[in-house]
Each structure stands twice: as C-alpha cells, then as structure tokens.
Amino acid sequence: MAASRTVRLATCCAQLAAAWLLTLSPLVAQSSRETGELFQDGKTARASSTAPANDTKTSIPPARQTYMGRRIARTMSYKGAPWLLRTEREKEEACSRMLQELRLEPGMVVCDLGCGNGFYTLRMADLVGRKGHVFAVDIQPQMLVLLRQRMETKGVTNVSPILGSIHDPRLPAQTVDLILLVDVYHEFSHPELMLQAMRRALKEDGVVALLEYRAEDPMVPIKPLHKMTKKQAIAEFSANGFRVRRQFDGLPWQHMLIFEKDPQWSPRSGSNR
Ligand SMILES: C[S@@+](CC[C@H](N)C(=O)[O-])C[C@H]1O[C@@H](n2cnc3c(N)ncnc32)[C@H](O)[C@@H]1O
C-alpha cells in the first residue's frame, strides 16, 4: 500500500513538473502592476506587485476587483520576499504555535498554497517527514526560484514546487490532507475558482487552514486591504462549499480558521457576487 502511494505521488510529481515547464514562459511574460506598502505606518515598504494580467485568449473569467463586498488586494511581489523571512516574524505571528495547531503528522500530503519563498513550506516538509509530501504552489516563478534555492541549501527532497495560475493551483485531485493559506487568500483574483480547485484537490476528510490578519483589530499594524474579518472569511468559504471544522484564536495578529468540505453544499447553493 505504501509502495502504491509512492508510485501515485511520483506520477503526480512528474505530471506537475511537465505542467510547470509548459506553463513557465507565458507566466513569465505576464505584465506587472504597482501596489503600495502593506504596513499601516507606511515605513516598511513591502512590495510592489506583479499580478498576472487577465488572459484574453482563454476562457479565464476576468479578475475580480471585489468579492462579496470585500476589495481584493494586489499580489505581493517577489521583490518583497525577504520580508517573509524576517526574524521578528516568530514574535509577530507565533509561527511555531500556528504550525502545532495544524496537527501535521508524518506521512501526510500537504500543500502550501501561495508559498512565496517557502517560509512555511520547509517547516511543513520537516513535519510530514520523508514519507510525507508538500506541494508548494505560487504564481510567481521568481518565488519558486527562491524556494528551490532554500530547498537545495537545506537538502529538502519531499517538496514539489508548482507554478500555479491565478485561477488554478494545478494540484492533483483528491490527494491532499491539508492546504495551508497564509496571508494569500485575500489576494486571489478568482476566489471562487480557487476554492473549487481546492475542494477537488482535497481528500474527503482534507482541510484548508486559513490565516489572515485580523481586520477587527486596529492594533494589528497591517493595511486594511490586507486584512479580513472572520465573518467575511466564513461567508466566502461557506458560499463555496466549506464549513468551519475548528478555529484557533490564540495568534497575535491572525485569524486561524480550519475549514472542511461541507457535504450539504452544491454548486447551485454557492454565491456568485
Ligand atoms: C504575502 S505572500 C505570503 C507567502 C507565504 N504564504 C508566507 O506566508 O510566507 C503571498 C504569496 O501568494 C502568492 N499568490 C497570490 N495569488 C496566488 C494564487 N492565485 N495562487 C498561488 N499563489 C498566489 C503570491 O505570489 C505571493 O508569493
């Protein structure tokens, strides 16, 4: 059984590597746009953005500006990647505590969706161990280059970097135990399609762990566009086939919501606002 799982994973990885090579050039060519800074004090410039433009040659729906009353933020540029590895992050976000709350176990197949330069990817790779696997998805090839460099330096072999698209993380179906979304969902220009794709990728009892800066808390020093309320997050996930399994309110700056598939949900009951 372990051998057949290894073969299945190896096949998935080979298919993903091929997809990655096929899709690299068009995505590199996508246009960029500027954003402002993330922090409220305006002192710490975090990023200018490279959000892929809409592809007019395919059937990809246009990028949303808003979803269910929330303004969608622009993508954080790879130029801001060092900020993701800042030493204060542990104090500001209690990253180790958050990882404990994921309840990862050796052998699990997990995904770091919107992985950036892999701050969490490598820590998850360690937690799921050699028998487990991490799919690390990002839409910026430059972020994946940085991730690969960090993987090589640390000798990590159980991670598959995947170049996703703005509406599809390109994950294998019904394979993943847990999808981690840290500070990325609020950037999705196609939230409904991304949530549908996540539902497909998850095993029946798989979960999505959503981490977003708390919009309800003015003491969290992040610009409002890069924060979300718990109410809004639950409304958006519920409209797309998820329900809250559990939540953890002990992090300094972020909400942590664990969603599972809602078996009562059908696509027609979803929201399309
Ligand atoms: C603010 S960074 C967070 C990175 C990482 N999760 C962390 O906490 O260190 C957001 C990342 O999500 C990526 N991203 C944005 N939209 C995405 C999408 N539709 N699919 C995959 N990645 C996406 C961006 O390119 C960026 O690298």
Q: Note the pLDDT tens digit of each residue in 198-220.
A: 999 999 999 999 999 999 999 99
Other CB atoms within a 10 A radius of the CB of residue 234 amount to 19
pLDDT exceeds 50 at position 95: yes
Q: How confident is the model at residue 268 (pLDDT cuts 50, 70, 90)?
A: confident
In this structure, the residue with its CA closest to atom 8 of ligand 1 is: 182
pLDDT exceeds 90 at position 36: no
- Bridge partners of 244, per DSSP, are 259
| For residues 171-184, average pLDDT | 98
* Beta strand 202-214 pairing with 254-261: antiparallel
Q: How confident is the model at residue 222 (pLDDT cuts 50, 70, 90)?
A: very high
Backbone dihedral angles phi then psi of residue 39, each to the nearest 5 degrees: -75, 145
pLDDT exceeds 60 at position 194: yes
In this structure, the residue with its CA closest to atom 11 of ligand 1 is: 114
Q: Which ligand 1 atom lies nearest to the CA of residue 50?
A: 25
Identify which of 187, 222, 225, 254 to mutate to test ligand 1's pocket (most ligand atoms within 8 A of the CB): 187
pLDDT exceeds 80 at position 142: yes
Closest CA to 244 of 256, 254, 253: 256
Residues 6+ apart with CB under 8 A from 243: 237, 259, 260, 261, 262, 265
* Beta strand 202-214 pairing with 227-228: parallel
**DSSP codes of every residue in 156-190:** --SEEEEE-BTTB--PPTT-EEEEEEES-GGG-SS
| Class at the top of the CATH hierarchy for domain 2-269 | alpha beta
Q: How confident is the model at residue 89 (pLDDT cuts 50, 70, 90)?
A: very high
pLDDT exceeds 70 at position 4: no
Identify which of 90, 120, 139 to mutate to test ligand 1's pocket (most ligand atoms within 8 A of the CB): 139
In this structure, the residue with its CA closest to atom 10 of ligand 1 is: 184
pLDDT exceeds 90 at position 259: yes
Ligand 1 mean position to 4 CA, how many Å?
32
* Per-residue pLDDT, 7: 46
Please tell me the pTM assigned to this model. 0.84
Residues 38-84: tens digit of each pLDDT: 444 332 223 333 334 444 456 788 999 999 999 999 999 999 999 99
CB 258 within 8 A of CB 244: yes
* Beta strand 176-182 pairing with 70-71: unpaired
Ligand 1 mean position to 1 CA, how many Å?
34
Closest CA to 58 of 185, 190, 203: 190
Ligand 1 mean position to 52 CA, how many Å?
12
Q: Rounded to whole angstroms, what are the CA distances from 115 to 36, 70, 81, 138, 215?
A: 21, 23, 11, 6, 22
Pocket of ligand 1 (CB under 6 A): 75-76, 84, 113-116, 119-120, 137-140, 143, 164, 166, 169, 182-184, 187-188, 194
Chain-wide mean pLDDT for the chain? Answer: 84
| For residues 157-167, average pLDDT | 98
> Under DSSP, is residue 115 helix (H, G, I), strand (E, B) or coil?
coil
Ligand 1 mean position to 195 CA, how many Å?
15
| For residues 172-196, average pLDDT | 98
* Per-residue pLDDT, 59: 79
